[in-house]
Amino acid sequence: MGSTGVKRSLRVAWILITAKVVAAGIACLSNPCLHGICIDDVNSTYSCYCVDGYTGVQCQTNWDECWSDPCENGGTCIDGIASYNCSCPEGFIGDNCETNFNECESNPCQNNGTCIDMTNGYLCSCIPGFAGDHCEVDIAVCNSSEEVRCYNGGQCIEGPGYKFYCKCPPGWAGKKCEDTVDECESNPCQNGGICIDAHADYMCACTFGFTGKSCEVTIEFCDSNSCSKNAICVVEDGLQVCYCVPDYHGDRCELQYDECLLGPG
């Protein structure tokens, strides 16, 4: 074999090798890997390397992350790509619905009711005197017909729960207006006056020289008595005023009533 023969053989070999490489490199040209990258092999084959979450020879299958039933307590699994979500039933939270949500955390019970957490909800246990799903109803007691709440005309006012208050009319006191008030207790009569308790009131019997409801007024007598017939002369607003004994009248008590004018009694 001459040198040209050697050259030709090399050329043929080169073409064969090139053909082989070209043949090997075209397998990936058709993008056979749906979710991944393609690597050419020899013999016109290829290999797929998949994006996370896909499987299959051509990375065509979205791997079902829900296959193992990861959601607890009846949660519904929603498959994603290399992930899943759980749709939880009411009352459960957490990635896998593993936590029973405590509905009592928001303190839904009013008026010191006790909250009891249930699987899907809560119950309020009310203290006496309250009712309703959230203990929001303050039970009325004033209009109960079984019992008189306030005596002696007292007005019943609702309090929290079974509590109530009585607004007593004047002269009455006590939780249920059952006590009379002793108006003399505060010693209202001054200057030695004697107190007489009356209903919702008092009277004062004043000592000589004092007058007024509480004997608080000092009677000012006139320096010289210009009134006649034993009348009393008193200074009022700077003026002398005569107070007559019965049967007498007139500015200075100088006149006497004629009883005959009244006719037979």
Ligand X SMILES: *[C@@H]1O[C@H](CO)[C@@H](O)[C@H](O)[C@H]1NC(C)=O
Using CB under 6 A, list all residues that contact ligand X. Answer: 41-43, 78, 80, 83, 85, 111-112, 127, 140, 143-145, 160-161
Q: Give the residue ranges of DSSP H helices in 26-143.
A: none
CB of 165 to ligand X, least distance (A): 15
Residue whose token pair is 């939780």: 175
Q: Is 15 helix (H, G, I), strand (E, B) or coil?
A: helix
CB of 80 to ligand X, least distance (A): 3
Nearest-angstrom CA–CA distance, 106 and 104: 5
Query: By C-beta, is 161 or 250 nearer to ligand X?
Result: 161
CB of 174 to ligand X, least distance (A): 23
User: Which amino acid is it at 86?
Assistant: C
Which residue lies nearest ligand X, judged by its C-beta?
80
Joined tokens for residue 45: 């084959």
Query: By C-beta, is 74 or 80 nearer to ligand X?
Result: 80
Alpha carbon 78 to chain centroid, angstroms: 40
Cβ distance 116 to 134 under 8 Å?
Answer: no
Query: By C-beta, is 86 or 253 nearer to ligand X?
Result: 86
CB of 139 to ligand X, least distance (A): 8
Query: By C-beta, is 66 or 203 nearer to ligand X?
Result: 66
Query: By C-beta, is 127 or 232 nearer to ligand X?
Result: 127
Which residues lie below 8 Å from residue 92, measured CB to CB, with a gap of 6+? 72, 73, 74, 75, 98, 99, 100, 101
Q: Is 104 helix (H, G, I), strand (E, B) or coil?
A: helix
CB of 237 to ligand X, least distance (A): 58
CB of 27 to ligand X, least distance (A): 12
Query: By C-beta, is 41 or 105 nearer to ligand X?
Result: 41
Q: What is the DSSP string of 198-250?
A: ETTEEEEEPPTTEESTTS-EEP-B-SS----TT-EEEEETTEEEEEPPTTEES
Nearest-angstrom CA–CA distance, 38 and 52: 15
Nearest-angstrom CA–CA distance, 33 and 57: 8
